[in-house]
Amino acid sequence: MVFVDASAGMRTFYMLLKVSPTDVKLLAMIQPLCLLIAVSLLSVGLHATSAHVIVLPPIPPHAPPTSQLLDPRLASFSIEFSYLPSFGGNKSNPNILSQELIQRLVERTGVGPDIRPGGITVDSTVFSPNSPALVLDESPTGGIYKTTFGPAYYESLGIFPDSSLVVMDVNLGNNTVSFARDEIAAAIQYIGWDRIRALELGNEADHYPGGLRPSGWTEADYTAQFLNWTEILTANLTLPSHIFQAGGFADSWSTQGIIDEGIDTTGVVKLFCQHTYQYSTCDPSRNAIATLPNLIDHGNITAFLDQWKPQVAAAHSRGKEFVVGEYNSVSCSGKENVTNTFGQALWLADTVLYGSSIGISRMYLHQGATLVFQSNQQSNAPGFSWYDLWYPVPTDRYGPARASPSFVAYLFITEAIGTSQQSRISILPSISSQPQFAAYAIWDKTLRSSGPAKLAILNLATRNVTSTQTEKDNVAIEVDLSEYIQKGRMGRVKRMTALGLDSTDSANATWAGQSFENGVASGVENVENLVDGKVTIQGSEAVLVFF
């Protein structure tokens, strides 16, 4: 079949081609006429677009042995330490929007996502048993220089279900072991071991040299301090073995580096962690390239994450998980009209599914705020980050509390994972003629003994809000999945879509026809059927097919 556009005549041609294949006579009759139209159109400069029918690489009946079991908490959260109360509220005033949004994820995987209260503000925190929930020492422009917190701080975690596990990040930056000790003791008392997955020392220690540590401070120094402190803390608080998440670096140090320094020799490391931010607004040169076309690009996304493959392998060589303990698209709090668009949803879906396909166990999406001391050149002013999945409270700058257009990506991902805890994922080989096409097969023995249970298909080719019909037609793709449909079924489709890549409108960013701006599904659910085994995916759109 050929996709044609640009004129009523060509549309007729396309429609005629869609007639039943048995109607050969009619086709034979009109063919010369259509060719004539096509030729005349080409001669006046209009082009018939190439066929966007995707020939899918074969999906093996069983998950490849290298594919990893999908963690039901793959799509987890890091929340900037000093903003957790803004997101969670407290016992008497829980943040209902946050609670509802988290519940939408629980409905899809059966468990709550992990939550890591952490980030740059953790390195200036002090726990005080008599303090109110949160006391911030701020600069005149809203930078947080110190956070004092008390027992009521932990009430903010109440919006997460008991099945949400906590990675507790504590102050390493201040270089005062009693601060870390008191924070861990408080976490044990107010969260409890049944909900603590791991303890983490500090945030992005590779950024300490020249600030919180002398400029010559190295990976070896970090490792020595980690080993010293974990020994002191383990003895002082009678900690279980294998409870620390090691690493958590931004960009200059690595998992392999600290393993080489001997970090995993004393039985305290549970897993390894690094942070990933693909772009940044921390300085003007990086701000200039933090654009939607650069960000929402399958090649850029995969090339960026591929840089962590050796670190994933290093962790696995120690028999330990590798997690991305903090990530988002654009560091220094995102970028207006880039990370608060539907494009961020597409970036998230591709980033997290690809991350899981290369062996990353969980990814903790950072929800934060702009912090003046993060960089003195950043383009953002203080306030919630432009990349946040939702704005938990109303603000002058961001308007009403609501989910951002990217929230639907976490529905897409969690529904791809499902509730079985038996699903495995693998990316299908890329198609050279369609660089913005990405497909992830998901096998799940509880749903299907042989053959894929689900297929996530992303079309990252740009369809902007203002794209013309021709531009939209040029990037639409069609995939024939008939050979994978189970006997007696039709194959169902849930679609993640919006008005366009650059749309900031949450009410029109939908998952299976419903938007989630207010935390609950709005609109009528639309679960489509494959049509003759086929599905069409517009540019800037993704579908999850259930076989």
Ligand X SMILES: *[C@@H]1O[C@H](CO)[C@@H](O)[C@H](O)[C@H]1NC(C)=O
Contacts with ligand X, residue ranges (CB under 6 A): 90, 92-93, 124, 126, 132-133, 146, 152, 174, 177-178, 212, 228, 232, 235-236, 289, 292-294, 297, 299-300, 336-337, 462, 464, 467, 471, 499, 502, 505, 507-508
Return the number of the residue (57 or 211) whose C-beta is nearest ligand X. 211
Return the number of the residue (94 or 451) whose C-beta is nearest ligand X. 94
The CA distances from residue 433 to 6, 367, 440, 472, in Å, are 22, 36, 18, 17
Return the number of the residue (292 or 544) whose C-beta is nearest ligand X. 292
Q: Provide the token pair at 58.
A: 């074969």
CB 114 within 8 A of CB 73: yes
Q: How far is the CB of 4 from ligand X (least distance, A)?
A: 20
Q: How far is the CB of 409 from ligand X (least distance, A)?
A: 18
Q: How far is the CB of 231 from ligand X (least distance, A)?
A: 8
Is 511 strand, coil or helix? strand
Chain-centroid distance, C-alpha 245: 20
CB 407 within 8 A of CB 516: yes
Return the number of the residue (212 or 490) whose C-beta is nearest ligand X. 212
Q: Which amino acid is at 60?
A: P
Return the number of the residue (231 or 483) whose C-beta is nearest ligand X. 231
Report the chain's C-alpha Rg in angstroms: 25
Q: Give Cβ neighbours of residue 377 (< 8 Å, ≥ 6 apart).
A: 282, 283, 284
The rounded distance, in Å, linking the Cα atoms of 68 and 455 is 16
Q: How far is the CB of 408 from ligand X (least distance, A)?
A: 14
CB 184 within 8 A of CB 237: yes
Q: Provide the token pair at 98.
A: 């946050």
**φ/ψ (deg, to 5) at 344:** -60, -35
Return the number of the residue (58 or 132) whose C-beta is nearest ligand X. 132
CB 407 within 8 A of CB 507: no
Return the number of the residue (24 or 289) whose C-beta is nearest ligand X. 289
Q: Are strands 196-201 and 244-249 parallel, antiparallel or unpaired?
A: parallel
DSSP assigned state of 517:
T
- Go through the chain and tell me how many residues it has: 547
Q: Give Cβ neighbours of residue 35 (< 8 Å, ≥ 6 apart).
A: none
Q: How far is the CB of 177 from ligand X (least distance, A)?
A: 4
Q: How far is the CB of 465 from ligand X (least distance, A)?
A: 8
Is 514 strand, coil or helix? strand
Q: How far is the CB of 367 from ligand X (least distance, A)?
A: 18
Q: How far is the CB of 124 from ligand X (least distance, A)?
A: 6
Q: How far is the CB of 7 from ligand X (least distance, A)?
A: 21
Return the number of the residue (361 or 462) whose C-beta is nearest ligand X. 462
Residue 20 CB-density burial (10 A; 0-12 exposed, 13-18 middle, 19+ buried): exposed
Return the number of the residue (165 or 461) whose C-beta is nearest ligand X. 461
Return the number of the residue (208 or 443) whose C-beta is nearest ligand X. 208
CB 441 within 8 A of CB 452: yes
Q: How far is the CB of 314 from ligand X (least distance, A)?
A: 25
Return the number of the residue (17 or 398) whose C-beta is nearest ligand X. 398
CB 509 within 8 A of CB 503: yes
Q: How far is the CB of 35 from ligand X (least distance, A)?
A: 30
- Which strands make up the sheet holding 134-138, listed edge to edge? 125-127, 144-149, 134-138
Angle (CA) 202 204 207, round 5°: 120
The rounded distance, in Å, linking the Cα atoms of 289 and 282 is 12
Q: How far is the CB of 447 from ligand X (least distance, A)?
A: 33
**φ/ψ (deg, to 5) at 274:** -140, 165
Q: How far is the CB of 532 from ligand X (least distance, A)?
A: 28
Return the number of the residue (383 or 451) whose C-beta is nearest ligand X. 383
- Tell me the HSE value of 409 on the side-chain side, using a 13 A CA sphere: 29
The CA distances from residue 167 to 245, 487, 516, in Å, are 8, 44, 27
Chain-centroid distance, C-alpha 262: 31
Sign, CA dihedral 519-523-525-526, equals negative
Return the number of the residue (119 or 418) whose C-beta is nearest ligand X. 119
